[in-house]
Every structure is written in structure tokens, then in C-alpha cells.
Amino acid sequence: MTVVSARNLGLTFKTDDGDVVALSDVNLDIEQGEFVSFIGPSGCGKTTFLRVMADLEQPTAGSISINGMTPAEARKKRAYGYVFQAPALFPWRTIEKNVALPLEIMGYSAEERRQRIARSMELVNLAGFERKFPWQLSGGMQQRASIARALAFDADLLLMDEPFGALDEIVRDHLNSELLKLFARTQKTIAFVTHSIPEAVYLSTKIVVMSPRPGRVTDIIESTLPKGERPLEIRETPEFLAIAHRVREGLRAGHSYEEHA
Amino acid sequence: MDALRQSKVFAILMLVAVLIVIWYLAAIWLNAPVILDRLSREGITPDVVDLVVRTWSYNRPILPAPHQVAIDLFNSTLMLAPANKRSLIYHAWITLSATLMGFVMGTVLGVALAIFIVHNAAANRSLMPWIIASQTVPILAVAPVIVVLFFNLLTGDNLIAQMLRLNSDGAQLVSKGVISMYLSFFPVVVGMVKGLRSPELIQLDLLRTYNATGLQTLRLLRWPAAVPFLFASMKVGVAASLVGAIVAELPTGAQAGIGAKLLIGSYNGQTIQIWSALILASILAGLLVAVVGLVERATVRSMGARP
């Protein structure tokens, strides 16, 4: 089943200094159960594309559908969970209350809230930290809490905007393998923005390489690595390095375009 | 000894001690001419010690000495029954009740206006200039007009008066409260507009992804984020409220309250009474701000602030 389908999608921001083309002629399908990474330099429109899917930005050309609906309808049906670059936890709420936030808004009963909080906290290995306030947790734990919050209401689609960008490499490795376990356990569809090549190759079943000015897709790579859980050591295999090489080539092609322009 | 020297209490006490010394010196400087003049008419030339003692114990001084004010304050608060009309406690309560009423009304009005301004683009553009203009009006000049206007409105023959059925004390209280409200709503509006807008874009986006309603966004995000701003505003507002209540009593011929006490004192040249009323007013202001501060500490702690 196709979860996301974009056709000739374009988005132009009108600014005081003239138009800025953030996305141009993007064609992409994301199938149920895929882990799709968007990779590219700053300004390539990868975050913008994620925000268009989430109905946080409005496209100015082409069409996009989420589960056969417009992004606005999908948002109103709470079809996706969004994880931002920063944890965006509310500092006056404990971790469990933060995870409960979407459940409160969506009107779940107290009993169901309790169950769902427990299950999502378990999924991100944060059980035992329910009563802590955000400032009492490390950056990595805060970001895990924000993932638990996105998982709490069982949306099938998870949109993640550089969720581990601000974390150090060791924590990042750890969270990447946790995320893959979670992906294998929950059968969700994940769209994941990153600018790290190893992260993209390690996590994804499909890698979308983008280039800036105007933001467009330069390459779509289907991963040959096994789906589901992958050991961190897979990053030293020739197969992994071959995919990483192709991603790097795609990025380089995008850049040379910019230099000639 | 070092701990003592670095403590806050020590710093405050040192400052008070310095001020009291300056006050005693100023009392000599200001009162001496009057006393010398009177004594010279009686043909007496006092020595220095005698003169200094007289400047500090004169019964109608230009500037009373601190101990004279302290004794008067003590006698007119703790030595009289609070219901006694000569008791400063009685007058302080009259002013305090108007202050609290105006403070509550002002805070509610300020919060309501801020919520309106944050949620309505037209209100945002049109209301703020008027709110700022309202505070440029000299309150001392318009206070009598407003107090008299509201007093007549609340006791006269009209619908509002018939609905509220206030006696003249009640009407006086409310009309003074209006001045307090006028002064205290302003810091609350300004602080709360800033506070309600303080959530980060990412937090607002998050609630949008949940398809949260405007009311949910206000209740779950904007309001809690604005709480620290509310308390900062309320500290300014409560002090302004007290000033408003005193100002409302000053030019309107009020018979009771700290403002009335100040006015009566100045008619009769009772400088000691003026000063003890002033000192009581500042003690009151300090207490009010401290109470708001205590509520703030308790609230912020329950909202998970770092200790």
C-alpha cells in the first residue's frame, strides 16, 4: 500500500528578497513499512518536504497524498507522529505527562492513557523515568521521550526531522540501533531526515538523495541491506560501503550542478 | 563572620542603618532653622547638643526623626483596637481592601486583554496603542473624576446600581478599586502578551500536528508558558494597585484610608502622622509583593522548575 505519494510537488516561499524555491518537481512514493531517509545539504528542501507531508507547509505546485488523503485531512485524522529536531518537551510537565500530551488532546480515557504511556515508555527504554522532569534527563533521553510521545497514539506513519542531529556520535549510534529495533517491532512507515550518510544507509530501506537551489530529488536508492534489525558492524561491510558511495556520488552531483549554475 | 557578611539580611540591614543615619542628619539640618528661630525669639541660645536633641524631639518638625515616626507608628497600630478610627490598622485595611479588589480586577482584565490580543490580529494592531495611551494619562488628575463617576453610577438610580445594591461604603470601595485596576492591569497585559507568545515555534508546530484546538493550545501550552511572566507582572501590578488606592483616596475627600490619613495629616501639619502613614504604606507594599513572590515560588516549584 502506498502511504505517501508526491507528484511534481513544488514549493516556493515568497520573501522580501524575491522567491525562494524550496522544492521543485519532486516525485516520490513511500510504501507501507518502508524506512525512507532524506539526505542532502542544508537548503535542499528535505525538512520542507517532511513539513509538507505533515501539513505544516503548503505546497505551491503539484500534488501530494497521505494514505490517499490530503496532508490536512491526514493531520486532522492524526495519521502521523512527528519528531522534531529538538525534543520540544514541555518543561512544566513530567516525562509521562509529556508523553500523555497527544493522548489528552485526542481525548483518550485515563485508563487507556496509562496503558499507552507505559507501552511507549517501554518501547524507547525509558521505563522508570516517568516522574522526572525534562531537565533531569540527558539530551538523548529527552529525544527518546519525544519519540515515545510520537508513538503514544499509534499513528502508522512516523515523520522524523533530524531527531539525533544534536546528539554526540556514541549516543547517536545507540539510538539508531534502538530505532531500528522499534521499526522492526512496530511495522511503522518512517520518513527520516538526516545529513549523515552512515546514519541514512544504516537505517533505511530507501534513501532519497536531494540537492539544493532548487530543492529536488537527484537519486532514489533502494537499500540491499537486510530489512529489520541490523548490527552496527554492518557499517563495515562492502555492501554498506557501496551504498554509502552511491549516496556520496549523488550528493556530489547535486553540488556540481550548483557550481555550474 | 564571613557568612554573615555575605548574607542578604546583612546587606539589607547595612543599607537600612546607613539610611537611618542620613535621616537623623537630615532631621538636624531641616529642623534646626525653625528651632533656632523660635528659640531666638525667646532669647535662648542653645549649645550644639541641646539643639540636636531638640531637632530630634520637636513636636511639629519639618522632618521627624526616625524614632518619632517609629513611636507614632507603634502607638497608632499596636496600642489601639483595630476598629478604632484613630488606628492606622483601620485605615490600612480600608486601603488594602480597595487594593486587593482592584488588583484582582486588574489582573483578570489584563489577562483577558492579553488573551484577546494574542488571538486576534485586529486587536493586536488596534488595542495596544490605546492601552499604552491609557497609562500616559496623569492618574492624579483623573482619579477624582473616575471615583466620583463610579460612586454615582453605583449608588444612583440606574440598572447597575439596582443590580449590585451596594451601600455607600461598598460603592466607595469599588470606585477606589477601579483606580487600582486602572494602574495594575497595564503591567499584566504587557507581561502576558509577551508570555502567551513565549512558546517556541516548534512547540506550536507540535500541537498543530495533533490538530489541537485554539483553546487546547492556550490551556496546555500558552498559559503554562506565560505563568512566570504573570508573576513578574503581578509583582509590579500589586504595588501599582496600592498606589492607585491611595491616590483614589487623596483628592476625593475620603474620610478613611491611608490616602485620607496623608491628606488630613498635611492639612494639620502633622508631619509625624504623614510619615508613619507613609512607612505603613511601604510596609504594606513590601508585604503584598512578598506574598505574590511566595505564591510564585510554590507555583513554579509545582511546575517542575529547577530548585
Which one, of A234, A240, A179, lies nearest residue A207 by Cα?
Answer: A240
- Separation in Å, CA A144 to CA A10, A109, A121, A222, B262: 32, 24, 9, 27, 63
pLDDT, one tens digit per residue, over A167-213 is: 888 888 888 888 888 888 888 899 999 988 889 999 999 999 988 87
Strand partners, A2: A31
pLDDT band, residue B100 (cuts 50/70/90): very high
Inter-chain Cβ pairs, chain A and chain B, closer than 8 A:
53
Query: Which residues of chain A are within 8 Å of residue B306 when distances are taken between CB atoms?
Result: 135
Domain ranges of chain A: 2-79+157-260, 86-154
pLDDT, one tens digit per residue, over B246-284 is: 988 887 666 788 888 888 888 888 888 899 999 999 999
Concatenated DSSP letters of B25-94: HHHHHHHHHHHHHHHHHTT----HHHHHHHHTT-SS-SS--HHHHHHHHHHHHTSS-TTSTT-HHHHHHH
Distance from CA of A240 to the nearest CA of B (A): 34
- Separation in Å, CA B190 to CA B54, B129, B235, B263: 51, 11, 13, 33
User: What ranges in chain B are assigned the alpha helix state H?
Assistant: 2-6, 8-41, 48-55, 66-77, 88-119, 121-134, 139-155, 159-164, 168-196, 201-209, 214-217, 223-249, 258-267, 271-302
pLDDT band, residue A216 (cuts 50/70/90): confident
A54 touches chain B (CB under 8 A): yes
Rounded mean pLDDT of chain A?
Answer: 87
Q: What percent of chain B has pLDDT over 90?
A: 44
Query: Which residues of chain A are within 8 Å of residue B202 when distances are taken between CB atoms?
Result: 84-86, 88
Distance CA(B160)–CA(B153), nearest Å, equals 7
- According to DSSP, residue A70 is labeled -
- Separation in Å, CA B237 to CA B203, B232, B253, B289: 29, 9, 25, 9
- Cα torsion through B11, B15, B17, B22, rounded to 10: 160
Interface residue of A90, A133, A149 to substitute, partner B, most B CBs within 10 Å: A90
Query: Which residues of chain B are within 8 Å of residue A90 when distances are taken between CB atoms?
Result: 203, 220-221, 224
- According to DSSP, residue B301 is labeled H
Contact A88 B220 (CB under 8 A): no
Note the pLDDT of residue B243. Answer: 92
Interface residue of B202, B205, B209 to substitute, partner A, most A CBs within 10 Å: B209
- Separation in Å, CA B305 to CA B183, B218, B258: 30, 20, 39
Note the pLDDT of residue A92. Answer: 93
B210 → closest Cβ in A91, A92, A102:
A102
A93 touches chain B (CB under 8 A): yes
Distance CA(B29)–CA(B69), nearest Å, equals 17
Distance CA(A212)–CA(A210), nearest Å, equals 7
Question: In the sheet where A216-222 sits, what is the strand order?
Answer: A80-83, A157-161, A189-194, A35-39, A206-211, A216-222
Which one, of B236, B237, B223, lies nearest residue B192 by Cα?
Answer: B223
Q: What is the mean pLDDT of residues A109-136?
A: 89
Neighbour-count burial of A87, counting CB atoms closer than 10 A to its CB (0-12 exposed, 13-18 middle, 19+ buried): buried
Note the pLDDT of residue A260. Answer: 45
Domain A2-79+157-260 in CATH 3.40.50.300? yes
Distance from CA of B128 to the nearest CA of A (A): 27
Secondary-structure class of domain B88-302 per CATH: mainly alpha
The model scores a pTM over 0.90: no
Contact B209 A82 (CB under 8 A): yes
Which one, of A146, A155, A248, lies nearest residue A198 by Cα?
Answer: A248
pLDDT band, residue A242 (cuts 50/70/90): confident
Q: In residues, how long is chain B?
A: 307
Judge whether residue B218 has pLDDT over 50: yes
Contact B205 A82 (CB under 8 A): yes
Per the rule left: phi > 0, alpha: psi between -120 and 50, beta: everything else, B137 is beta
Q: What angle do CA A48, A143, A224 make, to 5 degrees?
A: 65
B224 → closest Cβ in A90, A106, A134:
A90
Contact B304 A93 (CB under 8 A): yes
Those residues with Cβ within 8 angstroms of residue B252's Cβ, 6 or more apart along the chain or in another chain = B143, B144, B147, B148
Which one, of A190, A203, A194, lies nearest residue A44 by Cα?
Answer: A194
Q: What is the mean pLDDT of residues A66-91?
A: 90
Which SS3 state, helix, strand or coil, does residue B263 take? helix
Per the rule left: phi > 0, alpha: psi between -120 and 50, beta: everything else, A129 is alpha
Of A135-149, B9-23, B80-94, where does mean pLDDT reach its minimum? B80-94
Q: What percent of chain A has pLDDT over 70?
A: 97
A91 touches chain B (CB under 8 A): yes
Note the pLDDT of residue B37. Answer: 86
Contact A78 B212 (CB under 8 A): no
pLDDT, one tens digit per residue, over A21-63 is: 888 888 889 988 899 999 988 878 888 999 999 999 999 988 8
pLDDT band, residue A104 (cuts 50/70/90): very high
Distance CA(B242)–CA(A97), nearest Å, equals 39
Contact B210 A101 (CB under 8 A): yes
Per-residue cell: B14: 547595612
Which one, of B303, B306, B281, lies nearest residue B99 by Cα?
Answer: B281
B206 → closest Cβ in A55, A84, A104:
A84
Strand partners, A82: A159
Distance from CA of B288 to the nearest CA of A (A): 26
pLDDT band, residue A115 (cuts 50/70/90): very high
Is A90 in contact with B224 (CB distance < 8 Å)? yes
Does B187 or A258 have the greater pLDDT score?
B187
Query: Which residues of chain A are within 8 Å of residue B200 when distances are taken between CB atoms?
Result: 88
B215 touches chain A (CB under 8 A): no
Query: Which residues of chain A are within 8 Å of residue B205 when distances are taken between CB atoms?
Result: 56, 82, 84
- Separation in Å, CA B47 to CA B36, B42, B44, B61: 11, 15, 10, 19
**How many CA atoms does the CB half-sphere of B206 hold within 13 Å?**
26
Contact B224 A106 (CB under 8 A): no
Distance CA(B173)–CA(B168), nearest Å, equals 9
Distance from CA of B122 to the nearest CA of A (A): 23
- For chain B, the farthest-separated pair of C-alpha atoms sits apart, in whole angstroms, at 91
Which one, of A45, A31, A10, A19, lies nearest residue A227 by Cα?
Answer: A31
Judge whether residue B303 has pLDDT over 90: no
| pLDDT winner (highest mean) among A165-169, A208-212, B162-166, B303-307 | A208-212
Which SS3 state, helix, strand or coil, does residue A80 take? strand
Note the pLDDT of residue B1. Answer: 60
Q: What ipTM was estimated for this complex?
A: 0.88
B212 touches chain A (CB under 8 A): yes
B216 → closest Cβ in A88, A93, A105:
A105
Query: Which residues of chain A are within 8 Å of residue B304 when distances are taken between CB atoms?
Result: 91-94, 133-135
- Residues A250-253: contacts with CB within 8 Å, 24+ apart? A250/A209, A250/A218, A250/A219, A250/A221, A251/A39, A251/A40, A251/A41, A251/A197, A251/A209, A251/A211, A251/A218, A253/A211, A253/A218, A253/A219
Query: Which residues of chain B are within 8 Å of residue A134 when distances are taken between CB atoms?
Result: 304
Q: What percent of chain A has pLDDT over 90?
A: 28
Q: What is the mean pLDDT of residues B33-53?
A: 84
Q: How does strand A206-211 pair with strand A216-222?
A: antiparallel
- Separation in Å, CA A58 to CA A4, A12, B29, B130, B185: 16, 9, 75, 36, 40
A106 → closest Cβ in B202, B210, B304:
B210
Note the pLDDT of residue A256. Answer: 52
Those residues with Cβ within 8 angstroms of residue B122's Cβ, 6 or more apart along the chain or in another chain = none
